[in-house]
Structure 1
């Protein structure tokens, strides 16, 4: 059983949903992002998403775009991001790690080599935002050969006819994009989630995570009532960004501010009985 499947199975027996925080690799520097990564499980993260910085992140709003640019300026590359995960695994063998990013860097790296190196580093799953289902075979074989889950995105605009095609070959969990738009811009209503998640659930047995637009503990709890997991990204990046000095350098309390926010969001998710 993969780490992702094992974690969701464990949480199901505990009667609660999962909290999945996001961080951008190397934002604003290696030391700060590493400290945040290592502190997340203790603050309540059940799974962790790590963004792979890229120059053209088409699904991301200004917050994560800027975080990616800070990461690139600090020296982030795909191999260095994998080294971050490998270092994390020397301290934590259990928390699932998902890499989230775009096709171009993986294409340049090579699918077979990337999947082999990612698995060796301790990565459990991949979210490739701009990889359409029709072209997923390019990555699916290499991912399967290295026991990496490919986590598919389902949008509010994904209709019932297309859902099976989008979910074909999906594993780990399904990522429901709760808004039609870019990250960090607005939030889905409880009414929308109450209607949308059962529709997705009828098409898959996989756990469903809700992401895009969740910013507060109250919103996280609302999403946890509807689905199996909650992803928060832009709100955490905003907290980190607000702590940086005018030159973009981390402050002494930058890491703690983010981890305190992770703790509050995780507690909100855990307060919802499933």
Structure 2
């Protein structure tokens, strides 16, 4: 529900801080560990969770997230099983917004109408589908909005003022600003340029602007939180998870804790910045 996302940003704004958005891949390294991680994120400090939808050709993702998707696919993770994990998460958590992030192909294969109905029933709040531009809004964006799901659009350093209105036209929930040009997890952003870009986007929309790509630590999160309404961290969490797997890519006793430890550090970084006036 779009309302759940709006309520979370209102809560963060009232606390005078940015939101922490965490990304993990559904089914990585196995469905049960993935669910355990998903359940642990809010308690570690995540305000919103993004759940990756595994796909064989994730063109916008860097090596870490590509590998996570392949690990998930190897153990049989698919769209239906991903929605089931969210359904199980929702049985214990009715407040944390859940965003499904991925590519259009698995949704198309599943069937758009069926997918939207099942996603809403499972407790999904919004979608980020990186390979559907505004020109193709009829495919998924507009049907998602009619179903009550936010369709969250990406803006990049190359999205100029002429292009921004098209990008923002049917965006809901928040705007995801990709802080670097290229694939996920590839570099560290220039925080000064990020702040200026967020300011520019805010001149075009009243939606929260959330910054992702390249945030790896609590210090990074604090730097971005100075100007953004939220920070997304994905590749760093996947790397933390990967570092605990055995030589068969199976979870160990350290896997969940490695992710939550980094989330706690990121959360502390975000919460250390209280520049915004509380509502």
Shared fold per TM-score greater than 0.5: yes
Secondary structure of the structure 2 residue equivalent to 1:226: coil
Is the counterpart of residue 177 in structure 1 residue 183 in structure 2?
no
Q: Per-residue deviation at 1:271?
A: 1.2
1:213-260 deviation per Cα after TM superposition (whole angstroms, max 9, x unaligned): 110111111111110000000000001001101110111111011111
Match of 1:253 in 2: 254
Q: TM-score, normalised by structure 1?
A: 0.98
Q: How far apart, in 1, do the equivalents of 2:112 and 2:32 lie?
A: 28
Unaligned regions of 5+ residues in structure 2, if any?
none
Q: Per-residue deviation at 1:197?
A: 0.9
Unaligned regions of 5+ residues in structure 1, if any?
none
Match of 2:99 in 1: 98
Contact 2:142 2:170 survives alignment (8 Å): no
1:96-146 deviation per Cα after TM superposition (whole angstroms, max 9, x unaligned): 000000011111112111111100000000000000110012113321232
Match of 1:229 in 2: 230
Higher mean Cα deviation, 175-184 or 5-14?
A: 5-14
Alignment length, in residue pairs?
274
Q: TM-score, normalised by structure 2?
A: 0.97
Q: Per-residue deviation at 1:194?
A: 2.2
Q: Per-residue deviation at 1:175?
A: 0.1
Pairing 1:25-36 to 2, within 5 Å after superposition: 25-36=26-37
Q: How far apart, in 1, do the equivalents of 2:149 and 2:9 lie?
A: 16
Q: How far apart, in 2, do the equivalents of 1:236 and 1:140 lie?
A: 28
Match of 2:194 in 1: 193
Match of 1:5 in 2: 6
Q: How far apart, in 2, do the equivalents of 1:130 and 1:230 lie?
A: 21
Secondary structure of the structure 2 residue equivalent to 1:159: coil
Output the aligned Cα RMSD. 0.8
Match of 1:205 in 2: 206
